Structure 1
Amino acid sequence: MKALFEDIFQYHLQFNEMIGQQLKENNLLQGQEMQLYCHLLNAHQIWNARILHQAATPLHQLLDIDACFALNEQNHRETQEILAQRNLEQTIIYDNSTGDLFHHSLREILFHISNHHTHHRGQIAFMLRQQNVQPLPTDYIFYKRAQQSA
């Protein structure tokens, strides 16, 4: 299971980078697309911070594109460290943005983070189409196909 999560988060690293590059190339760094891109990266950082008992960034903090690329790398590095050092069934106790206390397994949280990335990249793809920009194919299977042909 850890190997699967390692692969999935490598996929998110790569495709988040590609989406950021597409936003940059199409000069879409000020609109809703960028806000959503920042949100998906910030949310990953917040979940990592909850797991690691560290300070979290604001959920809707707007970043410039270079800071987004750096946060994407940081998120990936921290998630890989979490996978290397933690048991997937470990219970993580955390409070949400309103102070309510919850507990979930690390496995459940990592699945949530992954699903959150995919969900918001889909929303960004929709927004890109509205801007007459052809979105990149970011399905996981495209990542796996590219690995097979490399």
Structure 2
Amino acid sequence: MKEFFVDIFEYHHHFNQKLADLLIENVSQLSDRTIPLFSHSINAHQIWNSRIINSKPLGVHQVHTLEKCKILDKANFEETLKILSEQDLQKNINYQNSKGEKFEKSMQHILFHIANHFSHHRGQIISDLRQNGIEPIVTDYIFYKR
């Protein structure tokens, strides 16, 4: 299962980097929500990593430059690989959400949530790009594996 998650996070990192480059190239044509949405996706990954390793989280809706998003995405990816190499996927993580509510979930569930969260928001960003006349990159997993 760990190999599966490594593959999934390699896929997301690969396309997050490419998407950031596309956004940088077209920054003047982006909708007002594109950069905050991309930042949120990156922040959420960092927040979940921080819950696992007990480090300081970013703000959920903290907005970054696209260049900073690329740096944060790389750091998130590297931290997730470290987590995967050192932690048991069945281990339960106790955490509080942004509202202060307490929960407990397995690392496996948390990692799947992070991956699914990226897919959801990447789809929104791609829709925004199309609506603004920008040809999006193809980010389907099967294309990545080809």
Fold agreement, TM-score > 0.5:
yes
| 5+ residue gaps, structure 2 | none
* 1:131 Cα deviation after fit: 0.3
* 1:58 Cα deviation after fit: 0.3
Counterpart residue identity of residue 141, structure 2 = Y
CA contact (8 A) 2:31 2:132 kept: no
Identity rate of aligned residues, in percent?
46
Q: Secondary structure at 2:137's aligned position in 1?
A: coil
Q: Alpha-carbon deviations, 1:25-81, whole Å to 9, x = none? A: 112567211110000000000000000111100011111122111100000000000
Aligned to 2:27: 27
Output the aligned Cα RMSD.
1.0
CA contact (8 A) 2:20 2:67 kept: no
* 1:102 Cα deviation after fit: 0.2
Q: Pairwise mapping of residues 1-150 of structure 1 onto structure 2 (< 5 A)?
A: 1-28=1-28, 31-145=32-146
Q: Secondary structure at 2:64's aligned position in 1?
A: coil
CA contact (8 A) 2:13 2:77 kept: yes
* 1:132 Cα deviation after fit: 0.7
* 1:8 Cα deviation after fit: 0.5
Separation of aligned partners in 1, 2:60 and 2:81: 21
Q: Secondary structure at 1:34's aligned position in 2?
A: helix
Q: State the aligned residue count.
A: 145
* 1:135 Cα deviation after fit: 1.1
Q: Secondary structure at 1:94's aligned position in 2?
A: strand
Separation of aligned partners in 2, 1:18 and 1:35: 17
Counterpart residue identity of residue 9, structure 1 = F
Please give the TM-score of this superposition, normalised by the length of structure 1: 0.94
Counterpart residue identity of residue 6, structure 2 = E
| 5+ residue gaps, structure 1 | 146-150
* 1:134 Cα deviation after fit: 1.3
Q: Secondary structure at 1:133's aligned position in 2?
A: coil
Higher relative contact order (CA 8 A, sep 6+): 2
Separation of aligned partners in 2, 1:27 and 1:102: 38
Separation of aligned partners in 2, 1:31 and 1:38: 12
